[in-house]
Chain A
Amino acid sequence: GAVVSQHPSRVICKSGTSVKIECRSLDFQATTMFWYRQFPKQSLMLMATSNEGSKATYEQGVEKDKFLINHASLTLSTLTVTSAHPEDSSFYICSAGEATVSGANVLTFGAGSRLTVL
């Protein structure tokens, strides 16, 4: 089945530094990937849609300059949290859709990346 790899799984950084999280589709191509954020004991909130070869589409309230998304190839999207602060500490999850016969995608999720900003 489809596999999405997310790296790193855990990262701890100092306030003010930038952190990059990678999301790779291992055995399929994904023109679209999605980035979610999950606070403790809360649901997943869609942050942005990552589009291969073009700009990401951000959800309302998500700062595009804060959360830089790059989707340079059909198998890789990256999320960079710039100048991270403690309030950015969260669990970040990516997903990618593999097209099916019906045309509708079933999303496969990465294992998530837990960011802790000190």
Chain B
Amino acid sequence: AQKVTQAQTEISVVEKEDVTLDCVYETRDTTYYLFWYKQPPSGELVFLIRRNSFDEQNEISGRYSWNFQKSTSSFNFTITASQVVDSAVYFCALSEALGNNDMRFGAGTRLTVKP
């Protein structure tokens, strides 16, 4: 069975600090997909990234970067030079098998960026 663990329940940083959100996953499948979503106070889920299990390249998108390490089953998310607008709950999620979009979410990390 798949499982996603986000050990950090809440993180608080001051604007312009870098912050890393941890995500550790468990799966028996060799093919799987990892995701990060942002949930601002309004409630909607905003898709940030999808990574498949065969692609361990790290990715950078503006101030966001992701570090996928299969050896440690981790898919960590770093925000560089954080801004107040980054304040939200961030969810890491896992979907097993190609074409299977049954997605399981971690508990989420609530990030608060203070001015």
Chain A contact residues, CB within 8 Å of chain B: 32, 34, 36, 41-46, 49, 91, 93, 95, 97, 102-112, 114
Q: Does A111 lie within 8 Å of B44, measured CB to CB?
A: yes
For the complex formed, measure the closest distance between the CB of B35 and the CB atoms of chain A, giving whole angstroms.
Answer: 8
The secondary structure that dominates the A interface is strand
B75 CB-CB contact with A under 8 Å: no
* B contact set with A: CB distance below 8 Å: 33, 35, 37, 42-45, 47, 50, 52, 91, 95, 98-99, 101-108, 110
Q: How far is the CA of A97 from the CA of B101 in the complex (A)?
A: 7
Residues of B within 8 A of A97 (CB): 101
Q: How close is A55's CB to chain B, nearest CB, in angstroms?
A: 16
Min CB–CB distance B27 → chain A (angstroms):
15
Chain A residue contacts of B91, Cβ below 8 A: 43-44
B43 touches A43 (CB 8 A): no
Smallest CB–CB gap between B9 and chain A, Å? 9
Distance (whole angstroms) from the CB of B98 to the closest CB of chain A: 5
Q: Report the bound CA distance from A93 to B89 in whole Å.
A: 15
Q: Complex formed: what's the CA distance from A111 to B105 in Å?
A: 17
A91 and B89 CA atoms in complex are apart in Å by: 15
Q: A43-B91, A114-B43 are in contact. Are A104 and B107 (CB under 8 A)?
A: no
B107 surroundings in chain A (CB, below 8 A): 42-43
B29 nearest CB across to chain A (Å): 12
Separation of A97 and B97 alpha carbons in the complex (Å): 14
Quick check: B98 and A46 within 8 Å, CB to CB? no
A34-B101 contact in complex given A43-B107, A108-B47, C-beta closer than 8 Å: yes
B1 smallest CB distance to A (angstroms): 11
Report which of A46, A95, A112 forms a contact with B43, defined as CB distance below 8 A: A112
Residues of chain A with a CB closer than 8 A to B43's CB? 91, 93, 111-112, 114
CB distance from B114 to the nearest CB of A (A): 19
Q: Are A104 and B45 in contact (CB under 8 A)?
A: no
